[in-house]
Chain A
Amino acid sequence: MTLHSDSILQVHGLSKSFSGVNALDDVQLNLHRGEVHALMGENGAGKSTFMKILIGLLTPDAGEILFEGNELKNNDVNDVLKQGISMIHQEILIVPELTVAQNIFLGRESTQWFSSWLNDRDINQQAETLLQQIGLEVSPKTKMKYLSVAEMQMVEIAKAISNNAKVIIMDEPTSAISDKEVATLFAIIKDLKAKGVSVIYISHKMDEIYQIADTITVLRDGKYIGTKSAAELDRKSLITMMVGREINTLFPEKSSSKGEVVLSVKNLNERGKFDNISFDVHAGEVVGIAGLMGAGRTEIARAIFGLDTFSSGEIVLKGHKINIKSPCDAIKNGIGYVSEDRKGVGFIPALSVKHNITLASLSNHTKWGMIQDKSESAVATQMINDLKIKASGMDQKVTHLSGGNQQKVVIGKVLLASPEIVILDEPTRGIDIGAKFEIYKLINELTTKGIAMVVISSELPEILGMSDRIVVLSKGKQTALLSKEEATQETIMKYAMQH
């Protein structure tokens, strides 16, 4: 590791409170030129607030920010951008109908004094050069909507570079892209680093942090916990710093025993999505589904749950073939599904925790179509306690909860419909370590109760840690059904990349 003595960004004593609650309390940061600096912490640790202050979206209550020796004060987003700090947001902000080049230069067209209308050829040329720099092989004239999530991210990076960014903040940049694309992203980050650009990297994925980061700063509950060189900080200590207590094993011991077959999927097909998928799930068992992005994992889950159709094959529940046309049928047959797309398919933001959690089982609490508030509140309270959902009350809107708690609300909703089989699709995506651990514990509790589980995940350690058996998919085809003993990261990857 190279040592950098000159720092580009220094933050001291930064504080910010909302409604009397401290979101940030005396936080510091020292970012060097050409350094990749990981910012770690559980959800709610204050990372987002910190970054929002840095890019001028929020004004701090106290503290100072020195950028290249000058104090940044009372700046709005555009000032900060001009000075050279760019952020690549978790939810990528693009205009799908515009071209790549137009997106890169969005909002800066008017600075080109020579044209009030846009000189497309000019920006296309500039964009071409930028795209070459970062090694992205798309035409600048392509409309943004035709790009993959990873490619969109690259475009955002190109945009940051075109802004002459000296500091680039990346918020969970790998949450929606495949392993291969992650490799490309990391190559670009290394390249940026070599050019003296500093990167603040936010992620929950430990493996990535150790691959890419030089330095790690940890926040917890809005407080600064410490900064260490990545080489000196082992995983266990990092987790301890983040959660404030020691977590010995991330994956809790399982105690359930395998029962009879609950769900059999037989030769399930859907043209262009998946092909000839067959597996059984026993009561009390966890079957993992592994595969790269686009392997068809989510598509299979959606087909079983009745959200999408399939062209042939059978779904057999406890020996009876069932006909599922909609999620309503699936729920009636005791199938529960927690989507990977928590915001899109999981919860309803405008509704309260209570109303979300009872939504799939509301007919249990009605008389003549009228909702019986007492019985509804009772089960909601029970579930909130059981899952340890942190909310100010059951009437709080779900939007205002952290990712982990939102996920628990969705799981609670599925559980209240008394399923016999639960499909969890990326159950821990974008949620912090503490909440992850609780969800793993919950999976174990459910299997102990005899519920059959299917877990889909992109994180191999998670699949390996939780599953009794693992279905591996590659490009829509089932390439392996591995037992716990057979499965290692290497065997899974081998089958996942098999053609």
Chain B
Amino acid sequence: MNNYFTQLGNSTKQRARGMGQYGIFIAFVMICLILSLITPKFLTVSNWTIIVTQVSINALLAFGVTFVIITGGIDLSLGSMVAVTGIVASLLAHPDDYPVIVPVLAGLLAGVFMGAFNGTIITKSKVPPFIVTLGTMTIGRGLALILSKGRPVSNLSDSFNFIGGGSIFGVPFPIIVLIVAFVVCSVVLKKTILGRYIYAIGGNEQAAKASGIRVNKVKMAVYTICGGLAALAGILLTSRITTGQPNAGAGFELDAIAAAIIGGTSTSGGTGTMTGTLIGALLIGVISNGLDLLNVTSYYQQVVMGAIIIGAVVLDGWNQSAAQR
């Protein structure tokens, strides 16, 4: 390896360094290119509208968990938060009950509360986030079943169903939510003092503390934001399928974490970007859409999906290590 890279000249190294940053983007473009060559139905405006709409829920969760992973933590309760917030919102969203803002705010509040609960336990108890959020994952699922009495909550108002199903000037509302959330999350991470502190804590918690950063406050904020974004995802999902499902969102946390990691967020903390996470989420969405378009059998879909994800991350890993030499 060493030999190989020393033989390559200076210029190649520069290029490799550039690739490292965009490795996953290149993998993403390559997959899109291949798909558009195989099926003409892939590269159309209507298909991409659908892909991005489908991706929006996972992307919102992935944005939230990106904050958390950068601080060196993890949140396994995402899927359960989706269910709880969806149920809370749907219970208040029957026609002629309340104006649509009420279920939306109630759902968001539920998510913020659950996130803050995670944050409180994690910072006060020093129990690893993995364990704490594993616990809240189960608690959340139970809460969703209790609130809904184990049954789907249907018959929701049209204004509520607009959130997941409506369009503004031909752009589906979930896409608008996605874009706004992406911009806000990127700005928070890159331009605000909170974002800088998030990177600092994940990079070296002790050093961050010694720099006068109130580590617990920042962590608290991060888990709360993550809960809020999960609530947004929960409300979108509920509105999209026009029913609150107590078992909704099961396993969503894995897709969200996968999107963040594919996008270059390191599980050891300290690095990651929202753009990377967005591409990670899109990559997963594109593969799933492409396989459906090609009518690949269910059994093979799972194999292909897993293989492509590993391939994309391995490719990215190679580029990163090439860039570091």
Hey, which chain B residues are within 8 Å of A371, CB to CB? 191-193, 196
Complex contact B192–A370 (CB within 8 A): yes
Contact call A331/B212, Cβ cutoff below 8 A: yes
**Interface-forming stretch among A206-214, A230-238, A265-273, A340-348?**
A340-348
Interface centre among B199, B203, B209 (most CB of A within 10 A): B203
| Interface pair B199/A58, CB less than 8 Å apart | no
Q: Which residue of A lies closest to B201 (CB)?
A: A348
Query: B211 touching A413 by the CB < 8 A rule?
Result: yes
Is the Cβ of B203 less than 8 Å from the Cβ of A350? Answer: yes
Known contacts A359-B200, A370-B192; is A327 also within 8 Å of B6 by CB? no
Q: Assess whether A326 is in contact with B214, with CB atoms less than 8 Å apart.
A: yes
Q: Are B3 and A59 in contact (CB under 8 A)?
A: yes
Task: Report if A348-B208 is in contact (Cβ < 8 Å); known contacts: A58-B2, A59-B3, A359-B200.
Answer: yes
Q: Which chain A residues border B6 with CB–CB below 8 Å?
A: 59, 61
Contact indicator A337/B210 (Cβ below 8 Å):
yes
Which residues on A sit within 8 Å (CB–CB) of B206? 341, 344-345
A327, B271: Cβ atoms closer than 8 Å: no
Q: Considering the chains assembled together, what is the distance between the CA atoms of A413 and B208 in angstroms?
A: 11
Does any Cβ of B come within 8 Å of A133's Cβ? no
Known: A348-B204, A371-B192. A326 touches B211 (CB 8 A): no
Asked if B203 and A328 sit within 8 Å, CB to CB, the answer is no
Tell whether B270 is near chain A: CB-to-CB under 8 Å: yes
**Quick check: B210 and A339 within 8 Å, CB to CB?**
yes
Q: CA–CA, A362 to B2, complex, Å?
A: 40
The docked-state distance in angstroms from the alpha carbon of A348 to that of B202 is 9
A307 at the interface (CB under 8 A from B): yes
Q: Does B207 contact A (CB under 8 A)?
A: yes
B134, CB-defined interface residue at 8 Å: no
- Dominant SS at the A interface? mixed
Closest to B204 in A: A348
Contact A345 B207 (CB under 8 A): yes
Query: Among residues 349 to 371 in chain A, which have CB atoms less than 8 Å away from a CB atom of chain B?
Result: 349-351, 355, 359-360, 362-363, 366, 369-371
Number of B residues near A (Cβ < 8 Å) is 28
Distance to closest chain A CB from B3 (angstroms): 5
CB distance from B184 to the nearest CB of A (A): 12
Q: Mark A7-36, 1 if CB is under 8 A from B, else 0.
A: 000000000000110000000000000000
CA A328 – CA B197 in complex, angstroms?
13
**Contact: B212 with A350, CB < 8 Å?**
no
Known pairs A59-B6, A348-B270, A350-B271; A359 contacts B192 (CB<8 A) = no
Q: Mark B249-276, 1 if CB is under 8 A from A, else 0.
A: 0000000000000000000001100000
B207 pairs with A344, CB closer than 8 A: yes
Cα distance A350–B270 in the bound complex, in angstroms: 6
**Would B2 and A59 count as touching, CB distance under 8 A?**
yes
Shortest CB distance A331–B (Å): 4
Select from chain A the residue with minimum beta-carbon distance to B270.
A350
- Bound CA span A348–B13, Å: 25
Is B26 at the interface (CB under 8 A from chain A)? no
Does A417 reach chain B (CB closer than 8 Å)?
yes
Residues on the B chain within 8 Å of A337, using CB: 210
Most chain B CB within a 10 A radius of its CB, from A328, A341, A346, A366: A328
* B308 CB–A CB distance under 8 Å: no
Q: Nearest-CB distance from B176 to chain A (Å)?
A: 24
* Any B CB within 8 A of the CB of A310: no
CB <8 Å contact, B214 and A328: yes
**Interface presence of B44 (CB below 8 A):** no
Q: Are A369 and B200 in contact (CB-based, < 8 A)? A: no
Distance A237 CA – B189 CA, assembled complex (angstroms): 52
Whether A348 and B200, one on each chain, are in contact in the complex, defined by CB atoms closer than 8 angstroms, is yes
When the two chains form the complex, which single residue of A20, A330, A341, A359 contacts B196, counting CB atoms closer than 8 Å? A359
Complex-state Cα separation, A346 to B211, whole angstroms: 8
Check if A348 sits within 8 Å of B212, measured CB to CB. no
- Determine whether the beta carbon of A348 is less than 8 Å from that of B207: yes
| Residues of the A chain whose Cβ atoms lie less than 8 Å from the Cβ of B52 | none
Complex Cα spacing A348 to B196, Å: 11
Q: Which residues of B contact A346 (CB under 8 A)?
A: 207, 210
Give residues of chain B (163-221) contacting chain A, Cβ–Cβ below 8 Å.
187, 191-194, 196-197, 199-200, 202-204, 206-214
Q: Tell me the nearest residue of chain B to A417, going by C-beta.
A: B212
Using known A-B contacts A20-B10, A328-B213, determine if residue A351 contacts B203 with beta carbons closer than 8 Å. Answer: yes
Give the interface of A toward B (CB within 8 A).
Answer: 19-20, 58-59, 61, 305, 307, 326-328, 330-332, 337, 339, 341, 344-351, 355, 359-360, 362-363, 366, 369-371, 413, 417
**Can you pick out 29 interface pairs between chain A and chain B where the beta carbons lie within 8 Å of each other?**
A19-B13, A58-B2, A59-B3, A59-B6, A305-B210, A326-B209, A327-B212, A330-B212, A331-B212, A332-B212, A345-B204, A346-B207, A346-B210, A348-B199, A348-B270, A349-B203, A350-B202, A350-B271, A359-B208, A359-B211, A366-B192, A369-B193, A369-B194, A370-B191, A371-B191, A371-B192, A371-B193, A413-B211, A417-B212
Q: Which 7 A-B pairs have the closest CB atoms?
A: A348-B203, A331-B212, A350-B270, A350-B203, A360-B211, A328-B212, A359-B211
Q: What 7 new A-B contacts, CB under 8 Å, besides A341-B206, A345-B210?
A: A19-B10, A19-B13, A20-B10, A330-B212, A337-B210, A348-B207, A348-B270
